[in-house]
Structure 1
Amino acid sequence: MDASLEIYEKMKRQKCCVIIPTYNNHKTLKRVIDGVLNFTQDIIIVNDGSTDSTSQILSNYPKLTQIHLEKNQGKGNALKVGFKKAKELQFKNAITIDSDGQHFPDDIPVFIEYLKQEGEILLIGSRNMAQEGVPKKSSFGNKFSNFWFWFETGNKLEDTQSGFRLYPLDKIPNRFFTNKFEFEIEIIVRSAWNGTRVKNIPIQVLYDMSERVSHFRPFKDFTRISILNTVLVAIAIFYIKPRDFFRRLKKKGFKQFFLENILESQDSKMTKSLSIALGVFIGIAPFWGFQTVLVLFLAYVLRLNKVISFAFSNVSFPPFIPLIIFGSLKIGGLFMENPQDVFPNSYTDFDQIKQHLVQYLIGSFILASIMAVIFGLLGYILMTIFSSNKNKQIRNA
């Protein structure tokens, strides 16, 4: 069987179409469409309000599904329109390819083979950003995006900005909040948060500056991307990471979590003990609202175990908060000249409120320090005992 025909049949079985968003890329559009037609006729073209000869070019492909938007609304919106149409046509997967000529349609079989092997997965074509001709701003922007994707999801990718992708349509969010270039960041981050696997696969890339038309506006679009990443980081820190931690803890149970994530870690006992101490200190100290970002930052700077530090920073989860506040006020009172009642009936003036707050702050830092030392030492002792028992079992086996 001809290779192209084989891919055609595989795409049919996988219910996979190709979406081509386009805006004023008349120089390369025909070449891209003809290249995709070598593998499938299930193509959805979204003309995002082009003002060049795009409409005339598309008139030569009457059998292809075409959507013509009156005004340019951004690549993200064009992709959303394409996804909606693909779902209406009962497709389960969609490959997106840019119309500016930088991608090679000949790489479509690579996506289909990975889809066949991996099942439901979001694939992103990984370009060789080190090759000659790649604009420096593209290389920098990609590294910038890769870092924030890792921070927001814990998943390391080599290329998060490539528009040559395969989306499992049932595994991506139904609603989005962005419409332009930043959309392609939002969709992979939120898909990863929902449990969708996101992976890079190698593809070819061509940067022909005589043909390629880029609609990326450095200042405006970089600002929009930065704002989006700020929002995503906040959501990751205050919701996603705590949610995932408690899900893992609930699924494994504390004993199994302790065995797998602490005892089986390759870090030294001292590093793990210090990680526990850091987490407990940050969890008890009065850094309300900033505990997660602070513990992750300090664990990174101090080269400690981020998973362990984050886990123990949750020592201040709701049932323990009253006990922490009570202990902090009690301990703080020992260091105050005029200690305040832990639970005063009322405040007579602002000075009394201020003294009560100072008493709490002093006590919380002291309590945090004491508990950090206790938990760190206890962790070290338990790890030593478990390690000794494990070594005895190995010798007796």
Structure 2
Amino acid sequence: MSYCLLIPHYNHERQFLAFLPQLIATGLPLVIVDDGSIEQSRAQVAAAVAQHANAHFFALQRNRGKGSALKAGFYFARSLGFTHAIQIDADGQHDIADIAGFVQQSQAQPEAIICGKPVFDASAPKARVYGRKVTDFWVALETLSLRIKDGLCGFRVYPLAQIENLLDRYFIGNRMDVDTELLVKAVWLNIHLVFINTRVIYPEHNVSHFNYLRDNLLLIKLHSRLMLGMLVRLPMLLWQRLRGQ
């Protein structure tokens, strides 16, 4: 089992460069996928990463969305020989101290996706906190289960062989829909999920690329697709529930 930190990046050079020393201090290899950032941002991150032998930088030619960057990162990490990728955001929201616990859980259950379940402090926007409850409701319907404790947190350990199989079987969105869709379709594929409480902060002067209108419309479209997919798979999902899976 070989782990790397997988970090999608898009015009977050200020936050990422401040966060980079903590990432390096983990001792884990880094795989940074730049999602078509402006030239100045991409060049700054590439130059900083180049100073570390255990860090790998991969740039997409144009902005395709978080989902595209993450999927490219899965394949890139697999080609480098890693068996597991620890997804973590580039802006320092996630608690580096929890990585060891995530890896420990993953080593105990190598084929499971280890997922962060956020514990927010006062810096969290209320719209984000309460909006998650809407996602929780829909993913419970889409999987006919309560297996997904949080469908939005981007702090996870992915077993790359299982994820490659999932990507071969299912369409996965290219933008902010990716985190939710990966978990719903992992449940459909009967991949085990483990959730760990993890502290999430919103750094001062943080830049978010979540567009409330565009991305909420995207999530409405996503849940419409997933509900239709659930109905097609209803007999299989009911059979899984009857078997206690």
Q: TM-score, normalised by structure 2?
A: 0.88
Match of 1:221 in 2: 215
What pairs with 1:54-93 in structure 2 (closer than 5 Å)?
Answer: 54-62=42-50, 63=53, 64-93=55-84
Deviation (angstroms), 1:101 = 1.5
For the pair shown, which has the larger CA radius of gyration, 1 or 2?
1
Match of 1:314 in 2: none
Whole-Å separation in 2 of the counterparts to 1:164 and 1:198 = 13
* Residues 42 and 245 of structure 1: CA distance in aligned 2, closer, same or farther (over 3 Å): same
Structure 2 SS opposite 1:203: strand
* Structure with more helix by fraction: 1
Match of 1:143 in 2: 133
Match of 1:39 in 2: 26
Structure 1 SS opposite 2:14: coil
Structure 2 SS opposite 1:119: coil
Deviation (angstroms), 1:87 = 1.3
Quick one: which amino acid aligns to residue 229 of structure 2? I
Match status 1:111 vs 2:102:
yes
* Residues 208 and 246 of structure 1: CA distance in aligned 2, closer, same or farther (over 3 Å): closer
* Structure with more strand by fraction: 2
Whole-Å separation in 2 of the counterparts to 1:57 and 1:195 = 37
Match status 1:125 vs 2:113:
no
Structure 2 SS opposite 1:174: helix
Quick one: which amino acid aligns to residue 243 of structure 1? M
Equivalent pair of 1:96/1:166 in contact (CA under 8 Å): yes
* Residues 230 and 70 of structure 1: CA distance in aligned 2, closer, same or farther (over 3 Å): same
Whole-Å separation in 1 of the counterparts to 2:239 and 2:16 = 48
Deviation (angstroms), 1:208 = 2.0
Match of 1:351 in 2: none
Structure 2 SS opposite 1:231: helix
Deviation (angstroms), 1:41 = 4.2
Whole-Å separation in 2 of the counterparts to 1:112 and 1:248 = 29
Match of 2:35 in 1: 48
What pairs with 1:375-386 in structure 2 (closer than 5 Å)?
Answer: none
Equivalent pair of 1:158/1:200 in contact (CA under 8 Å): yes
Higher relative contact order (CA 8 A, sep 6+): 2
Deviation (angstroms), 1:102 = 0.8
Task: Structure 2: give runs of 5+ residues left out of the alignment.
Answer: none
Structure 2 SS opposite 1:102: coil
Identity percentage of aligned residues: 31
Deviation (angstroms), 1:247 = 6.1
Whole-Å separation in 1 of the counterparts to 2:237 and 2:41 = 49
Match of 2:174 in 1: 179
What pairs with 1:170-249 in structure 2 (closer than 5 Å)?
Answer: 170-172=161-163, 173-175=166-168, 176-210=171-205, 212-239=206-233, 241-246=234-239
Whole-Å separation in 2 of the counterparts to 1:36 and 1:196 = 28
Whole-Å separation in 2 of the counterparts to 1:81 and 1:227 = 23
Deviation (angstroms), 1:219 = 1.0
Whole-Å separation in 1 of the counterparts to 2:241 and 2:102 = 31
Quick one: which amino acid aligns to residue 2 of structure 2? K
Whole-Å separation in 2 of the counterparts to 1:49 and 1:231 = 27
- Offset from partner CA, 1:92-148 (integer Å, 9 cap, x none): 11101001111122221011111122332111111114x312101211221111111
Quick one: which amino acid aligns to residue 61 of structure 1? V
State how many pairs are aligned. Answer: 235
Whole-Å separation in 1 of the counterparts to 2:239 and 2:194 = 25
Equivalent pair of 2:114/2:157 in contact (CA under 8 Å): yes
Whole-Å separation in 2 of the counterparts to 1:221 and 1:209 = 22
Equivalent pair of 1:32/1:105 in contact (CA under 8 Å): no
**Could you say what the CA RMSD is over the residues aligned between the two structures, in angstroms?**
1.9
Whole-Å separation in 2 of the counterparts to 1:246 and 1:167 = 26
Deviation (angstroms), 1:74 = 0.6
* Residues 224 and 109 of structure 1: CA distance in aligned 2, closer, same or farther (over 3 Å): same
Quick one: which amino acid aligns to residue 162 of structure 1? C
Structure 1 SS opposite 2:194: strand
What pairs with 1:303-322 in structure 2 (closer than 5 Å)?
Answer: none
Equivalent pair of 1:149/1:156 in contact (CA under 8 Å): no
- Offset from partner CA, 1:212-232 (integer Å, 9 cap, x none): 110011111111111111111
Deviation (angstroms), 1:248 = 7.0
Equivalent pair of 2:110/2:159 in contact (CA under 8 Å): no
Whole-Å separation in 2 of the counterparts to 1:53 and 1:189 = 33
Whole-Å separation in 1 of the counterparts to 2:178 and 2:240 = 28
Equivalent pair of 1:21/1:78 in contact (CA under 8 Å): yes
Whole-Å separation in 2 of the counterparts to 1:248 and 1:148 = 18
Quick one: which amino acid aligns to residue 84 of structure 2? N
Whole-Å separation in 2 of the counterparts to 1:144 and 1:150 = 10
Quick one: which amino acid aligns to residue 180 of structure 1? R
Equivalent pair of 2:9/2:35 in contact (CA under 8 Å): yes
